[in-house]
Structure 1
Amino acid sequence: MDLDNCPNCGNIYVKNTIRDCCDACYKKEEADYDRVYRFLRKRENRAATMETVAKATDVEEYLLQKWVKKGRLQVAQFPNLGFPCDRCGTLITKGKICENCATSIKQELSAFENEKNRQDQLHTAVYHSQDLKK
């Protein structure tokens, strides 16, 4: 049994895999979720942005992002919802980083590997040339 402080209110609670906050905050989050879901179920609100949903329901954007990450709010049904890329902050709907950042990281890794291979080849060439001098 792990005890932790609730990240929302600071009260001590028993940490588990289902809830990441105390019972009181969990109940408030569930009430907020119900309010958001009722808002989004209306046809005219399905394409609402994060900001619009947050203002209309008086629910913090970080909670909306949390629910999208956990799959409670399906982006297939609500296409303008998402959460920020861990690297650049662009709104994404899956994973941890956006496609642009993933491509950039792959390019950086490729350049690093190429440089490492070049350094290894130089080291090998120097090593062999020293053997030839002996």
Structure 2
Amino acid sequence: MKDIANCPRCGQIFVKALRPICQHCYKEQETNFDIVSKFMRRKQNRMASIREVHEKTEVPLEQIHQFVREGRLLTGHFPNLGYPCESCSSIIQEGRLCTSCSDQIKDGLEKVNKEKEFELKKEEERRKERASISTYHSLNDRFNKK
């Protein structure tokens, strides 16, 4: 049986088969894409920013961001289009994070890995130290007192 869900945009119940939204919202989304696409295909509009596209077409910013994120509006043809970084909301054209957020995460992971390596080395040194300290008891004292 197909999954039944509420449309995240309008709340209507629908059978979730091919898309995550209902048929009505899908048609509305495609209409909005056609509006944006036609606007962007005009030569004088190719350098328009997201804000300008939103103001002229009245298509919601989130949908324009989604079109760029999905690759439906190519940033190679329209260099001023982009969508927000998931961490800091600066405008990017590919991926999920901007380079500075990505670098911050990488630096954090490297720092954590170095700390783990340091702790492992420290533990290894402690283990070696414990192994080298052995106590030996002599039985000679017992036998020599006869």
- TM-score interval (norm. to shorter): over 0.9
User: Aligned equivalents of 1:21 and 1:109: distance in 2?
Assistant: 37
User: Aligned equivalents of 1:94 and 1:16: distance in 2?
Assistant: 28
Alignment match, 1:3: 4
- What is the CA RMSD across the aligned residues, in angstroms? 1.1
**Deviation readout 1:21-77 (Å, 9 max, x if unpaired):** 111111111111111111111111111111111111011010001111111111111
User: Aligned equivalents of 1:128 and 1:52: distance in 2?
Assistant: 67
- Paired AA for residue 41 in structure 1: R
User: Aligned equivalents of 1:106 and 1:3: distance in 2?
Assistant: 40
After TM superposition, the score normalised by the length of structure 1 is 0.93
Unaligned runs of 5+ in 1: none
User: Aligned equivalents of 2:7 and 2:55: distance in 1?
Assistant: 25
More displaced, 56-65 or 107-116?
A: 107-116
Alignment match, 2:140: none
The structure 1 segments of at least 4 consecutive aligned residues displaced by more than 3 Å after TM superposition are none
User: Aligned equivalents of 2:95 and 2:82: distance in 1?
Assistant: 11
- Paired AA for residue 45 in structure 2: N
User: Aligned equivalents of 2:97 and 2:16: distance in 1?
Assistant: 28
Alignment match, 2:141: none
Q: Offset at 1:16?
A: 2.7
Alignment length, in residue pairs? 133
- Paired AA for residue 112 in structure 1: V
Alignment match, 2:90: 90
Map 1:115-134 → 2, pairs under 5 A = 115-134=115-134
Unaligned runs of 5+ in 2: 135-146
Alignment match, 2:33: 33
Larger Rg: 2
Query: SS at 2:14's partner residue?
Result: strand
Identity %: 35
After TM superposition, the score normalised by the length of structure 2 is 0.86
